[in-house]
Amino acid sequence: MTISDIKTLFEAGAHFGYVRARRHPTASPFLFGTKDRTDIFDLEETTKRLDAACAFVTSIVAAGKQVVFIGGKHEATGIVKDVAERVGAPYVAGRWIGGTLTNFKNIRKRIDRLEQLMSERASGALEKYTKRERLMIDREITELLGRFGGLVKMTDLPAALFIVDTRHEKTAVLEANQLKIPVIGLSSSDCDFSLTQYPVPGNDTSVRSIALVTNAIGEGYAEGKSAAAAAKSAPANAKTAEGK
């Protein structure tokens, strides 16, 4: 049984959308029907979309580019952080700071400041400051970590975003659309699917559903990294063989 198997998605509750009254018109093509006024997703469609999203992520990362994992709602933060850290991807597991993409140059300055302060603290370079000054610096580090800690590895604009609940993360979606950065989104029936280039229609509130889809995307990311590493080592191996 693969991660995108229909039965696995069903057992995770990925088929449950919101009540019909909350349905966004663009969600209709992804629905199987309605039961007890609750929209039900077509899991065959979800499976196809998830497979396509994973393949897209793998291709991006294999080309040496990055995908940012985003999930600010409380059901998603821990999952997004754990998966992103495991595969070495940049992430935002909390409130999205407006301008993170559209004003990236200034955001990167704040991240550079964070890295500088953390490096100085680790090396003992902050000992020259007074106790009060060190306390203020520690507070600044804590604040910067909370805002940008997951983005330290993002040295340039990403090639794509993976978002849990595109409606909740609308600001990130709009920034990506403005810059023509593709969005991969786990989106429930209240989301605007027209803003997402690689939608994964499904339950974006259930912890099990979020974990299933996020881990699948994470596996795609890891496969891409392995492919990129293999491609880098291939020329070196070829030169070694020629030398022999």
The model's pTM is 0.90
* CA distance readout (Å), 16 to 21, 190, 212: 14, 12, 14
Q: What is the largest CA-CA distance in the chain?
A: 71
Write the class of the CATH domain 6-101+157-230: alpha beta
Q: Tens digit of pLDDT for each residue in 17-75?
A: 999 999 999 999 999 999 999 999 999 999 999 999 999 999 999 999 999 999 999 99
The token pair that represents 233 in the structure block: 């080592």
Q: How many CB atoms lie within 10 A of CB 145?
A: 14
Domain with CATH 1.10.287 in the chain: 105-149
The token pair that represents 125 in the structure block: 């370079």
What are the start-end ranges of the E strands in the chain?
Answer: 16-19, 31-35, 38-41, 67-70, 91-92, 160-164, 183-187, 198-201
- Side by side, which strands form the sheet with 38-41? 16-19, 38-41, 31-35
User: 91: exposed, middle or buried (C-beta count within 10 Å: 0-12, 13-18, 19+)?
Assistant: buried
Q: Residue for token digits 């995908």?
A: 67
The token pair that represents 90 in the structure block: 């940049």
| Mean pLDDT (the chain, rounded) | 93
Q: Tens digit of pLDDT for each residue in 115-164?
A: 999 999 999 988 899 999 999 999 999 999 999 999 999 999 999 999 99
> What Rg value do the Cα atoms of the chain yield, rounded?
21
Domain with CATH 3.40.50.10490 in the chain: 6-101+157-230
Q: Tens digit of pLDDT for each residue in 207-233?
A: 999 999 999 999 999 999 999 999 888
Write the class of the CATH domain 105-149: mainly alpha
**Which of helix, strand or coil describes residue 244?**
coil
What pLDDT, on a 0 to 100 scale, did the predictor assign at position 1? 41
What pLDDT, on a 0 to 100 scale, did the predictor assign at position 233? 82
**Which of helix, strand or coil describes residue 128?**
helix
* Mean pLDDT (whole number) for 183-202: 98
